[in-house]
Amino acid sequence: MRTLRGFVAFAVVVVGVVSTVGSGGGSGYDVNGPTGPPSIQPPPAVDITTANAQDVAATVVQDVDQVFDFAGTIGGQIFPSLPSAPDLLSSNSKFELFETAVATGAPATGACAVSGAVTVSGDPGNNPVSLSVQDAFHLVFDTCDDGDGYSLDGSFSAIVTQLGGDPRTDVFGLSYDVQTVTVTVAFDDDTQMTASGCCFSLTWDSLGFPVTVLSLSPYAVVLSTQADEYSLFGGVYSRTVNADISVSTTLAEVGEATLQSHASLDGYVKYETVVPLQAPDGQDPASGEILISETAANGTIRIVIESSASVRLDIDADGDGTVDDTRYTTWAALLG
């Protein structure tokens, strides 16, 4: 997971078991974000068989990887790096543009760290004193490269939906509804991803600092890569790290989500992380489970990560609760 490893690398030392989204709670702040447009569950559904199970599992793993790449990329435009500076507004240069747009009522343009530029426009109804719920911003990227391993081109709008704690400390929660997304991410390894669609919710929760959670909740988003195009509907994708003393971190948690991989699956499957994926910093996950199921029937694939070198696929093609076939592979093989 490219972005995950970059995210974790900001922690001085990364810690072990963090089991749930919202582990930094305790202030009444809802880390899962506001209620958005209803999730869409369209047909057709993929028919899981013993013959296609490994391909389906690989497609889901690759999708999860790309979703976290996307969440980390967009999150990096709004939220601070980990560990956050005492003042959020100074730890992310774009917040200076947000403040300028709020104070002046006019678009504010700033140069990106390496090359390109970003322009932030504030809604006239924004709070003129400080960041507040319902403040709205529109970000336009002109091949913006901040030296984080990628550049951005395109635009999206962000509306503050929740704010908890104090953004001028390490302890805060912040949610945005991100809308009208048309963004192309060009990574330094020559891969490329384009995101478009209606909207999603993005949350940064450090209310339990040093535990920090980045969450993405898509309502209707399409991710396109050179190899495939993915339609995402519903669910919660989250990534948890802890800047404490240990050797592991939660890689990924996915609340039940629906995916269509247009090239690889030509249909929809549901999947969820039933046991959070965990791994030493910078390595493949060593434990965790993902359950993949048909959207219109009962066939399932359970991806069981036995170790960093072994992944077991338990395939129940007819959904009767009995494993019909078992395959062994590795996380690296599933990532392709």
Quote the tokens at residue 246: 């240990």
List pLDDT tens digits, range 67-87.
888 888 888 787 765 444 444
* Confidence bin at 166 (pLDDT 50/70/90): confident
Reported pTM: 0.79
Distance separating alpha carbons of residues 306 and 289, to the nearest angstrom: 9
Distance separating alpha carbons of residues 230 and 239, to the nearest angstrom: 20
Which of these ranges, 167-171, 235-239, 276-280, 320-324, has the smallest mean pLDDT? 167-171
Per DSSP, what are the bridge partners of residue 201? 177, 217
Asked if 182 and 197 touch (Cβ cutoff 8 Å), the reply is no
Per-residue confidence (pLDDT) for residue 94, from 0 to 100: 75
Mean local confidence (pLDDT), 223-252: 78
**Domain housing 159:** 2-335
Give the number of domains in the chain. Answer: 1
Whether the pLDDT of residue 283 is over 90: the answer is no
Tally of CA atoms within 13 A in the half-sphere of 228 that contains its CB: 19
List pLDDT tens digits, range 95-119.
778 778 877 778 999 998 899 999 9
Asked if 162 and 133 touch (Cβ cutoff 8 Å), the reply is yes
Asked if 301 and 57 touch (Cβ cutoff 8 Å), the reply is yes
Whether the pLDDT of residue 43 is over 60: the answer is no
